[in-house]
Amino acid sequence: MFEIFIKTHFAGAHHLRDYPGDCEKPHGHNWKVEVAVRATELDQCGMGIDFKVLKKIVGAAVDILDHNDLNTLPYFQDKNPSSEHIARFIFDEIRPQLTSDRYSLYSVTVLETDSQGLTYYGNQN
Protein backbone atom coordinates (compact mmCIF):
# COMPACT_ATOMS: atom_id res chain seq x y z
CA MET A 1 0.00 0.00 0.00
CA PHE A 2 1.30 3.43 -0.97
CA GLU A 3 0.02 6.74 0.37
CA ILE A 4 0.55 9.59 -2.06
CA PHE A 5 -0.13 13.15 -0.91
CA ILE A 6 0.05 16.74 -2.02
CA LYS A 7 -0.12 19.96 -0.07
CA THR A 8 -1.74 23.18 -1.23
CA HIS A 9 -3.43 26.23 0.26
CA PHE A 10 -6.11 28.83 -0.24
CA ALA A 11 -7.15 32.15 1.27
CA GLY A 12 -10.74 32.88 2.15
CA ALA A 13 -13.09 34.74 4.43
CA HIS A 14 -15.88 33.31 6.53
CA HIS A 15 -17.88 33.70 9.70
CA LEU A 16 -19.44 31.03 11.86
CA ARG A 17 -23.14 31.61 12.35
CA ASP A 18 -24.35 31.34 15.96
CA TYR A 19 -20.79 30.90 17.26
CA PRO A 20 -20.44 32.27 20.80
CA GLY A 21 -17.33 34.38 20.23
CA ASP A 22 -15.18 36.33 17.82
CA CYS A 23 -15.43 33.75 15.02
CA GLU A 24 -19.02 34.89 14.46
CA LYS A 25 -17.55 38.07 12.98
CA PRO A 26 -16.26 38.05 9.39
CA HIS A 27 -12.57 37.13 9.26
CA GLY A 28 -10.16 35.29 7.02
CA HIS A 29 -7.62 32.47 7.03
CA ASN A 30 -4.86 31.16 4.86
CA TRP A 31 -5.93 27.54 5.03
CA LYS A 32 -3.46 24.75 4.28
CA VAL A 33 -4.76 21.58 2.68
CA GLU A 34 -3.22 18.13 2.37
CA VAL A 35 -4.86 15.42 0.29
CA ALA A 36 -3.83 11.76 0.53
CA VAL A 37 -4.59 8.95 -1.91
CA ARG A 38 -3.87 5.29 -1.17
CA ALA A 39 -2.72 3.04 -3.99
CA THR A 40 -2.65 -0.74 -3.88
CA GLU A 41 -0.77 -1.09 -7.16
CA LEU A 42 1.57 1.02 -9.27
CA ASP A 43 1.07 1.95 -12.92
CA GLN A 44 3.49 1.07 -15.75
CA CYS A 45 5.66 4.07 -14.77
CA GLY A 46 5.91 2.92 -11.16
CA MET A 47 3.47 5.51 -9.75
CA GLY A 48 0.38 5.13 -7.59
CA ILE A 49 -1.01 8.33 -9.10
CA ASP A 50 0.90 11.04 -10.91
CA PHE A 51 1.43 14.09 -8.66
CA LYS A 52 0.54 16.27 -11.65
CA VAL A 53 -2.88 14.59 -11.96
CA LEU A 54 -3.51 14.80 -8.22
CA LYS A 55 -2.57 18.50 -8.12
CA LYS A 56 -4.89 19.30 -11.02
CA ILE A 57 -7.89 17.55 -9.41
CA VAL A 58 -7.32 19.09 -5.99
CA GLY A 59 -6.55 22.49 -7.51
CA ALA A 60 -9.95 22.63 -9.21
CA ALA A 61 -11.73 22.08 -5.88
CA VAL A 62 -9.54 24.53 -3.98
CA ASP A 63 -10.07 27.17 -6.68
CA ILE A 64 -13.78 27.18 -5.81
CA LEU A 65 -12.85 28.31 -2.28
CA ASP A 66 -9.86 30.55 -2.97
CA HIS A 67 -10.35 34.28 -2.37
CA ASN A 68 -14.05 33.92 -1.68
CA ASP A 69 -16.39 34.65 1.18
CA LEU A 70 -17.15 31.01 1.91
CA ASN A 71 -20.51 31.85 3.48
CA THR A 72 -21.77 32.97 0.05
CA LEU A 73 -20.96 29.68 -1.71
CA PRO A 74 -23.90 27.32 -2.34
CA TYR A 75 -22.36 24.45 -0.33
CA PHE A 76 -22.22 26.60 2.80
CA GLN A 77 -25.68 28.18 2.57
CA ASP A 78 -27.10 25.76 5.12
CA LYS A 79 -23.94 24.89 7.06
CA ASN A 80 -21.14 26.83 8.68
CA PRO A 81 -17.91 27.03 6.69
CA SER A 82 -15.95 25.46 9.53
CA SER A 83 -12.71 23.63 8.80
CA GLU A 84 -14.63 20.39 9.23
CA HIS A 85 -17.13 21.31 6.54
CA ILE A 86 -14.37 22.68 4.30
CA ALA A 87 -12.53 19.34 4.51
CA ARG A 88 -15.74 17.46 3.70
CA PHE A 89 -16.46 19.81 0.77
CA ILE A 90 -13.02 19.18 -0.75
CA PHE A 91 -13.32 15.43 -0.13
CA ASP A 92 -16.75 15.24 -1.77
CA GLU A 93 -15.62 17.36 -4.75
CA ILE A 94 -12.57 15.25 -5.57
CA ARG A 95 -13.60 11.73 -4.54
CA PRO A 96 -15.32 10.79 -7.84
CA GLN A 97 -12.14 11.59 -9.77
CA LEU A 98 -9.87 9.75 -7.34
CA THR A 99 -11.42 6.31 -7.36
CA SER A 100 -9.99 3.58 -9.56
CA ASP A 101 -9.07 -0.09 -9.36
CA ARG A 102 -5.55 0.93 -8.22
CA TYR A 103 -6.13 3.91 -5.93
CA SER A 104 -8.72 5.85 -3.95
CA LEU A 105 -8.98 9.05 -1.97
CA TYR A 106 -7.99 8.43 1.63
CA SER A 107 -8.10 11.75 3.49
CA VAL A 108 -8.27 15.53 3.38
CA THR A 109 -6.48 17.54 6.06
CA VAL A 110 -7.32 21.21 6.59
CA LEU A 111 -5.30 23.54 8.83
CA GLU A 112 -6.49 27.00 9.86
CA THR A 113 -3.08 27.76 11.34
CA ASP A 114 0.25 25.93 11.48
CA SER A 115 -0.74 24.44 14.83
CA GLN A 116 -4.42 23.51 14.46
CA GLY A 117 -6.41 21.54 11.98
CA LEU A 118 -8.21 18.29 11.31
CA THR A 119 -8.34 15.32 8.98
CA TYR A 120 -11.48 14.02 7.28
CA TYR A 121 -11.53 10.42 6.08
CA GLY A 122 -14.98 10.30 4.54
CA ASN A 123 -17.27 7.39 5.21
CA GLN A 124 -14.79 4.54 5.53
CA ASN A 125 -17.36 1.74 5.19
Among all residues, which ones are annotated catalytic?
23, 67, 112
DSSP per-residue codes, the chain = -EEEEEEEEEEEEE--TT-SSGGGS-EEEEEEEEEEEEESS--TTS-SS-HHHHHHHHHHHHHHHTTEEGGGSGGGSSS---HHHHHHHHHHHHGGGGB-SSEEEEEEEEEEETTEEEEE-----
